[in-house]
Structure 1
């Protein structure tokens, strides 16, 4: 092709492409001189394309009519002030807050924590630890002393052996040396869990802090999780040193002999188990995993049973004597199956702080909020010990109008933080250093305002969020408008309903029907037998009893009043009293006995009231929309409409 032939085609193609690109930006129609853009129409049309049942609604012109009517109703709702109602504004605000939670979080951090949680619940850790108790708000001096002590204990443990030191230092008050047994994800506070899973088997961790104080731990074993077990038990109470201990042992052994002789475990549990909660249920206990119950001996026995139905020999725990029977072995499900549950746990767990921190840091960067806040020194200077008594007040010389920080286009003043300190002092009854107090309060204040600002501006920053809110906003308006203008008035307009019924009686008629018995079977010989029995005027129940064989259903009987469209009747079917021939219908054989033919009958208003009111509402709505079209002028841009049609094709 020569260049001079190619250029006109190229420019024609470019013009068509530009038209397609700009069609969505153009004004499709004006409503009362207000523009409605093609972009909105295209988005709504494409979103609802797969939802409409009526193919006529997929026609662009027909859909444009529906869309125009929708906009007319919204215009009327605003003209009547429905968008200013307190109930409407409250419901919309609550919805926006709830929806915003899905857009404000940092999904990358959440996903990483969920994957980490799955790896952890898939493995069990066996560890021992030493803890030096320390209050969360301890002074720097006490904190340093506790840290030095835990470091000394770690040095001793490395030299003398962890278990030796653990047993020697445990006093149950300020120092704890404990055997923790096996545990997995979510069983310990997150900081403890993280160190445990990141420490090699046989190694002693570096000192670390949780809200309980300073710890060191030694990992004894790490293994793939055994999942959960569902067991039942028979328990006879017995405590260490109890004079009746021998009787308890004798009783459990007697029960075991009866179990071995073939008596049902569940029956014996109901008769003899002294666990009042599980005994009525045959001894059945809720499912549990390793580390979830306080009796390690019980846990070991339950997890060592290999096959469902196996039961243990009698054994003793701190609670008494037991026999355990295994009901279910439940392995860890795959990651995708557990993702929703794990995500919920992560967001409720202490590790959710990591999600919050990541989000706050992301918003700080987004809105250029500096890490260092020099004004905190001023607030440290004005707070007093009265703060911890809930009686502190801002000083008279307080610098209220000075700018504290700026988030986007929102300016926060010293007074804003000052008021926050006043309003939250009741939550700070435990005395701490002013520096840490003000720092903690400022971080909470900053987080609150960052999230609030992001939420308030999300509709302008996130197109997807904006569209969803817009749809909900319009939906609320439309519902209120229709309820007040059409639905409620139509229901209460008894005179109008009656007049509408009298004018449209032909629409409310019971068609010709039959009182019939329809019998269906996959076997023709069965229906031949049924036909002979019905010819003898036997009842349906008598016929059913005579054709039932080996507890199998040979035929299905449908009895009642039916019109021609009833699904049980073969098509076509002639209404005629008596027995029909055996017909083949829908892959089966069908026999019909017509007892009576009921003629076409006019429904009374009471009989047809539901349908009449529905039709009356539709009639009122159509009249009302026509009135709105006269009230608010709609002008369609035909050129843009043609571009929209071309773009949809």
Structure 2
């Protein structure tokens, strides 16, 4: 059984998790030694692994699967007998998987789905809002929080009564650092660009309305909605930028302004965008890419840049120069997109929601549900007692409990499990760290809330197997699967690769099973056009190909020929020195040369170059009708020839060289089986097959098929091992129960 077969029982597909609550029967289908395996476990595993096979529920299929399942349980029984499940490495690995398996059960899917749909619908609308922010620490004392809250109510009242306008009050009172400049104006934004409480309030307000104070992690806000509009989607643009940031001299600022307008004039007169961008743009990240920027939507870039970009309507059109905090820009429109379909965005929105403040809504609903389901009961008197023990040592992370007589008092209970003051104090001692942004009382309360939430979630996680049969069975599969991997690797997989003596002996005893059929030594050229095949014919010389574009012909007197060729060879020598598969080819007609000794002179010169030996110099004395010498580079590397042809497209040419059995390649079955060449056109491609030799049937050697032999040897070792396990742990099948299982599965 190989690693993929093991996955028959070791399923890693978390997406298939179900939250069905149900009870399982425990009737035994078979025993491995004294270990009973229930019918329900077999039915569950069989049904899950064959759910999409219409023909899987025949008696033969079920019995074959039962044999595999019994073998699986035999190995797991041995792993447990060897104590592999007690090793710390095993426990650590299983705990990691257990945490992953538990995640789908520790979330409120209905809440998530509602938030996802809400976020998507809000993406269709953009809100223009302003705000006034008064900072409040997350754990401020109630009197401080109330003071800020009332201050905002007073500001709101003055605005509503017409005593002051929103912008002037934002400039005067808002603690947002940008308020003095923008008077609280946030521009347009869409869903998931603001913290959720702020977004939620803004989307629910009508245009012109001012909210009551809204609490976020930054403090309290008054929000005024100035406008709402349909989403403009996203836009992709390129830009040419000239830097002109605040603080530069007036002369530099004027120079930047003149430069951008001169570039704009050249573009208006028809100058090529890419050249001007590369030459003048000062955005180093984009200038060599034509100024292209990533796709963006509302609220993602400088407002002036955004407005100019979305104002462009025609693809390829460009703006007049636009000034931002970074400098001057000319913006060219590349693409505009609407909002993607819900199905396309759903997963991305879920991921965003899991990371933003919306996740707290999900967690709160989950905690409330688990409290009800698991019978959570708190002892409020004891809770107040421990909160009263907060002092300044909490802020320096040096707090220690006192009063051991109280330690066993119960803070809360989840079903039959109690959580005491001692448990909480132990949690604090591990959790505490120095803090300066909170009072001791609220820090103690925060620790208690965290302790309570973690206890509720931990209890649920520890008891998931009691509620959900799918979780229980998946966890069992992981538990047994990890054991099986470890033992299979030790007994079969790694053993077979390391046992070189045993592998060789197995191969020799079974050599007759490893025989080559009649084979062809061949080269197959697969081209997109017939012209490529024809050109390859012309470029072929013996077992070499002339490199396209390397041809160089010289004519003239003897010494002139030598001079021209040696100059060309000198130019190519450094390249040839690095590329070992390239060689020289000289083509000429000896009878047409004025002095045949010129060939000897050239050959002598080439051979005088230190790194070139005679094997790198090839001659072809077959060119009739020319007085000159033609020089080529030639290569025996099919990969190099492919690369030369595929510079424009990877699909132009593919060359496959090797020794093939007839049924190994469909093309070889369509041509005459014998030495020679054939041209085949198939599915719009052109294939040229060059068979150089036919090799008779012969035995394979271990080095040629080692991977296959190792796989067979593993199967052999496993078979022997299974036999030993069956002797060690006798298997008894409950035939009466098996018949019930067969009927139950066959009726599915």
Normalising by the smaller structure, the TM-score range is: 0.7 to 0.9
Q: 2: CA distance between counterparts of 1:143 and 1:71?
A: 63
In structure 1, the partner of 2:499 is 493
Q: What secondary structure sits across from 2:250 in the alignment? A: coil
C-alpha distance 53-486 of structure 1, shift in aligned 2 (>3 A) = farther
Deviation at 1:114, TM superposition (A): 1.2
Deviation at 1:42, TM superposition (A): 2.0
* Mapping of residues 321-340 of structure 1, within 5 Å: 321-340=328-347
In structure 2, the partner of 1:266 is 274
CA RMSD of aligned residues (A): 3.5
Q: 2: CA distance between counterparts of 1:614 and 1:167?
A: 75
**1:80 aligned residue (72, 79, 82):** 82
**1:504 aligned residue (493, 510, 534):** 510
Deviation at 1:53, TM superposition (A): 13
Q: 1: CA distance between counterparts of 2:290 and 2:684?
A: 48
Contact kept? 2:395, 2:440, Cα under 8 Å: no
Q: 2: CA distance between counterparts of 1:121 and 1:572?
A: 58
> C-alpha offsets along residues 570-626 of structure 1, whole Å, 9 cap, x if unaligned?
54776433467x889899998865431111222223233222222112111101101
In structure 1, the partner of 2:568 is none
* Mapping of residues 298-313 of structure 1, within 5 Å: 298-313=305-320
Larger mean Cα displacement after TM superposition, 178-187 or 240-249? 240-249
Contact kept? 1:230, 1:288, Cα under 8 Å: yes
Matched, 1:341 2:348: yes
* Mapping of residues 242-281 of structure 1, within 5 Å: 242-244=249-251, 245-281=253-289
Deviation at 1:256, TM superposition (A): 0.5
* Mapping of residues 153-232 of structure 1, within 5 Å: 153-160=155-162, 162-163=165-166, 165-166=168-169, 169-170=172-173, 177-232=183-238
Deviation at 1:51, TM superposition (A): 7.9
C-alpha distance 470-592 of structure 1, shift in aligned 2 (>3 A) = same
> C-alpha offsets along residues 169-201 of structure 1, whole Å, 9 cap, x if unaligned?
247579874111101112212111111111001
Deviation at 1:168, TM superposition (A): 5.7
Larger mean Cα displacement after TM superposition, 553-562 or 491-500? 553-562
> C-alpha offsets along residues 312-332 of structure 1, whole Å, 9 cap, x if unaligned?
011222332221111221321
Q: 2: CA distance between counterparts of 1:51 and 1:494?
A: 41
* Mapping of residues 214-613 of structure 1, within 5 Å: 214-239=220-245, 242-244=249-251, 245-293=253-301, 295-370=302-377, 373-397=380-404, 399-426=406-433, 428-432=435-439, 434=441, 436-516=442-522, 560-569=658-667, 571=669, 575-578=673-676, 594-613=691-710
Deviation at 1:133, TM superposition (A): 2.5
* Mapping of residues 30-69 of structure 1, within 5 Å: 30-49=31-50, 59-69=61-71
Q: What secondary structure sits across from 2:370 in the alignment? A: helix
C-alpha distance 519-213 of structure 1, shift in aligned 2 (>3 A) = closer
C-alpha distance 607-275 of structure 1, shift in aligned 2 (>3 A) = closer
Deviation at 1:344, TM superposition (A): 0.6
Larger mean Cα displacement after TM superposition, 556-565 or 71-80? 556-565
Contact kept? 1:162, 1:218, Cα under 8 Å: no
C-alpha distance 589-54 of structure 1, shift in aligned 2 (>3 A) = farther
Larger mean Cα displacement after TM superposition, 302-311 or 566-575? 566-575
In structure 2, the partner of 1:93 is 95
Deviation at 1:477, TM superposition (A): 0.9
Contact kept? 1:124, 1:182, Cα under 8 Å: yes
C-alpha distance 648-24 of structure 1, shift in aligned 2 (>3 A) = farther
Matched, 1:132 2:108: no
Contact kept? 1:235, 1:322, Cα under 8 Å: yes
Q: 1: CA distance between counterparts of 2:250 and 2:685?
A: 75
Q: 2: CA distance between counterparts of 1:336 and 1:365?
A: 34
Q: What secondary structure sits across from 1:516 in the alignment? A: strand
C-alpha distance 498-516 of structure 1, shift in aligned 2 (>3 A) = closer
Contact kept? 1:229, 1:287, Cα under 8 Å: yes
Q: 1: CA distance between counterparts of 2:400 and 2:655?
A: 83
Larger mean Cα displacement after TM superposition, 333-342 or 259-268? 259-268
Give TM-score, length-normalised by structure 1.
0.86
Q: 2: CA distance between counterparts of 1:229 and 1:648?
A: 56
Gaps of 5+ in 2: 1-22, 550-644
Larger mean Cα displacement after TM superposition, 509-518 or 145-154? 509-518
C-alpha distance 572-332 of structure 1, shift in aligned 2 (>3 A) = closer
Q: 2: CA distance between counterparts of 1:589 and 1:189?
A: 60
C-alpha distance 29-218 of structure 1, shift in aligned 2 (>3 A) = same
In structure 2, the partner of 1:619 is 716
Q: What secondary structure sits across from 1:223 in the alignment? A: strand
Q: What secondary structure sits across from 2:282 in the alignment? A: coil
Q: 2: CA distance between counterparts of 1:66 and 1:636?
A: 14
Q: 1: CA distance between counterparts of 2:123 and 2:683?
A: 52
Q: What secondary structure sits across from 2:406 in the alignment? A: coil
> C-alpha offsets along residues 471-513 of structure 1, whole Å, 9 cap, x if unaligned?
1111111111111112222222222112111111112222210
C-alpha distance 372-216 of structure 1, shift in aligned 2 (>3 A) = farther
Give TM-score, length-normalised by structure 2.
0.75
Q: 2: CA distance between counterparts of 1:352 and 1:311?
A: 42
Gaps of 5+ in 1: 1-21
